[in-house]
Structure 1
Amino acid sequence: MIELTKTGIDGLDQILNGGIVKNSTTLVSGNPGAGKSILGLQYIYNGVEMFDEKGIYLSFEENEKDIREAAESIGFENWADHVENGDIKVFDKQVLLRENDFTSSLDLLLDDIQDDDYQRMVLDSLTMFQLFFENEQEKRTYLLKFTDILRKNELTTLMTNEQGAVFPDTDIGLENYLTDGNIYLIQTPTESGVNRYVWVAKMRKQNIETDIFPMEIEHGGITVHQNASAFSMMSEDESPI
């Protein structure tokens, strides 16, 4: 029996046939503003609120104050309390980029990564994480080392990844092969705003729905809806899966 980690996100766990495979690493890709960081915040927050699972949030882009404000603005009111009592551990860019050296940053993380109290991790973002490295070979070596450490310590991890195109790029990078799952967040402009979609392209050891599903970002976070015709406007009365 494959153990699953529920995201707690309405509709997404149904697409995933119950959740993300436990002790796996999933890449969440999308262009700027697609909702990658919100998905990461919601995954960590729901872990504490719904499933009694503690989480570690790594941000190479924001400081801790900005992360807290972003979480609270989307409706995760207890974020600061969970950080204060240790249920959520935040490493922000001021800590992670202090030495400009990944080995030093990894040394800071190891005690918490190896702590059995934590079950979830988010790395936001892999794009900034890669700036540590001078060449492709060094990036490959450390990314492989890092994902191995996460698996050995039984952390179910989401890594966000920036992409410039609206649709998933056909140029598949190393990170796609090193991760167990691939989730793409897609947004398309319309005359009245933006349509948002989620596509779970891969999840090892798991049967998944591979259609493209409409999603919304509202107060309270992300909701995924039943699949309308691809890239059509979502009806107002459409309910979560």
Structure 2
Amino acid sequence: MIELTETGIDGLDEILNGGIVNNSTTLVSGNPGAGKSILGLQYIYNGVEQFGEKGIFLSFEENAEDLRQAAESIGLDNWAEYVENGDITIYDKQVLLRENDFSSSLELLLGELDDDNYERLVLDSLTMFKLFFETEREQRTYLLKFTDILAENNLTTLMTNEQGTVFPETDISLENFLTDGNIYLLQTPTDSGVNRYVWVAKMRKKNIDTDIFPMEISDGGITVHQNASAFSMMSEDESPI
């Protein structure tokens, strides 16, 4: 029986058929503004709020105060309390980029993992993480090493990744093949704003629903809707599935 970690995000666990595989690493990709960081914040927050699971949030792009404001702006009202009491541990850009060396940042993280029992981790974002390395070979080596360390410490991890195109099949990167799962957050402009969608393209060791589902971001964060056919984003010929 495969053990799963529920995200606690309305509608997402349903299309994941129960949640994310324990001790796996899932890549959450999307273009700017698609909701990647929000999904990461919810995942860590819901771990504490709904399931009593402690989490680590690694942010290469924001400081701790920015993260608090972002969390509270979508209704994650107890974020600051959970950070203060140690249920959520944050390594922000001021810490992670201080030495400009990933080995130093990794040593900090390993010290934290040795002392406490965490079950969830978010890395936001892999785009900035890759700036530590000069070559693709280095990126691949350290990413594999890092994901192995996370799995060995029984962490179920989400990594966000910037995607330059609307349609994911035109922007497949190395990371998509190195991680256990791929979730794409898509958005398309309309006359009245933006339509948002989620597509779970891959999840090793389990069956998933690979339709494209509509989602929205409102107070409380992300909600995924199940009636995929009523929210057609593209024609059948254009579908990446």
TM range (shorter): over 0.9
CA contact (8 A) 1:112 1:118 kept: no
Query: In the aligned structure 2, how far is the partner of 1:12 from the partner of 1:33?
Result: 19
Aligned residue type for 2:232? A
Report matched runs for 1:1-241 at 5 Å: 1-115=1-115, 117-226=117-226, 227=228, 228-231=230-233
Aligned residue type for 1:36? K
Aligned residue type for 1:105? S
Query: In the aligned structure 1, how far is the partner of 2:99 from the partner of 2:23?
Result: 29
Aligned residue type for 2:87? D
CA contact (8 A) 1:215 1:223 kept: yes
- More displaced stretch, 27-36 vs 105-114: 105-114
Quote the offset at 1:172 in angstroms. 2.6
Render the CA deviation track for 1:169-190: whole Å, top value 9, x for unaligned. Answer: 4343221111000000000000
CA contact (8 A) 1:163 1:169 kept: no
Quote the offset at 1:141 in angstroms. 1.1
- 1:236 is aligned to none
Q: Percent identity?
A: 79
> Any stretches of 5+ residues in structure 2 without a counterpart?
235-241
Query: In the aligned structure 2, how far is the partner of 1:4 from the partner of 1:142?
Result: 26
SS in 1 for 2:168: coil
Query: In the aligned structure 1, how far is the partner of 2:208 from the partner of 2:115?
Result: 31
- More displaced stretch, 212-221 vs 135-144: 135-144
SS in 2 for 1:58: strand
Cα 1:162/1:54, change in 2 over 3 Å: same
The normalised TM-score by structure 1 is: 0.94
Quote the offset at 1:113 in angstroms. 2.8
Query: In the aligned structure 2, how far is the partner of 1:116 from the partner of 1:208?
Result: 32
Render the CA deviation track for 1:34-79: whole Å, top value 9, x for unaligned. Answer: 0000000000000000000000000000001001100011100100
Query: In the aligned structure 2, how far is the partner of 1:65 from the partner of 1:140?
Result: 31
Query: In the aligned structure 1, how far is the partner of 2:231 from the partner of 2:54?
Result: 38
Tell me the number of residue pairs that the alignment of Structure 1 and Structure 2 aligns. Answer: 232
Quote the offset at 1:116 in angstroms. 5.1
Render the CA deviation track for 1:162-213: whole Å, top value 9, x for unaligned. Answer: 0111111434322111100000000000000000000000000111000000
CA contact (8 A) 1:63 1:92 kept: yes
Query: In the aligned structure 2, how far is the partner of 1:115 from the partner of 1:41?
Result: 23
- 1:238 is aligned to none
Query: In the aligned structure 2, how far is the partner of 1:134 from the partner of 1:100?
Result: 12
CA contact (8 A) 1:61 1:92 kept: yes
> Any stretches of 5+ residues in structure 1 without a counterpart?
233-241
SS in 1 for 2:119: strand
SS in 1 for 2:233: coil
Aligned residue type for 1:75? G
SS in 2 for 1:118: coil
CA contact (8 A) 1:113 1:150 kept: no
SS in 2 for 1:186: strand
Quote the offset at 1:114 in angstroms. 3.7
